[in-house]
């Protein structure tokens, strides 16, 4: 993996320096998993690519293994925290609705316990939040 560290990117800093107070739930060569600092569900994690990739629209077919691994790690983190595996959501913000320009997968459980506004904001396959399956299907068409 090429070094793509961006000095002012909070996720690059977490992946590279692991700032104090950031617990890495998973630390691998290609990604890390952390707790979201503003959780909206009992379990709210982020799986962050170590490579600085702006967003899901920046992905290419070559990134399919990374995407699959992000999903696998997300599900493992949920299992490790005894989350309800029948009530969870995984998804990416779809540009231009991205707050941070660094690829990260949101992981929520239980989805049914989220406030209505958050269920709307993080609605799967809306025009602002998409599932990993949606992203994978876009990559298949490239």
Q: Evaluate whether 110 touches 52 at the Cβ level (below 8 Å).
A: no
Whether 104 is catalytic:
yes
**Phi and psi at residue 108, to the nearest 5°:** -125, 140
Task: Indicate which residue of 93, 102, 104, 106 is catalytic.
Answer: 104
**CA–CA distance, 49 with 105 (Å, rounded to integer):** 9
Q: Evaluate whether 70 touches 30 at the Cβ level (below 8 Å).
A: no
Q: Evaluate whether 41 touches 114 at the Cβ level (below 8 Å).
A: yes
- Name the residues annotated as catalytic: 104
């Amino acid at each position: 993996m090429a070094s793509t560290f961006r000095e002012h990117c909070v996720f690059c800093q977490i992946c590279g320096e692991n700032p104090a107070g950031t617990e890495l739930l998973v630390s691998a060569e290609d990604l890390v998993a952390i707790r979201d600092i503003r959780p909206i569900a009992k379990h709210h994690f982020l799986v962050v690519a170590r490579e600085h990739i702006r967003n899901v629209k920046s992905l290419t077919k070559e990134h399919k293994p990374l995407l699959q691994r992000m999903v696998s790690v997300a599900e493992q983190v949920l299992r490790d925290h005894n989350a309800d595996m029948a009530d969870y959501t995984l998804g990416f913000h779809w540009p231009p609705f991205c707050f941070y320009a660094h690829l990260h997968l949101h992981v929520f459980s239980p989805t049914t316990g989220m406030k209505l506004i958050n269920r709307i904001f993080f609605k799967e396959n809306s025009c602002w939040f998409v599932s990993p399956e949606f992203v994978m299907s876009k990559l298949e068409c490239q």
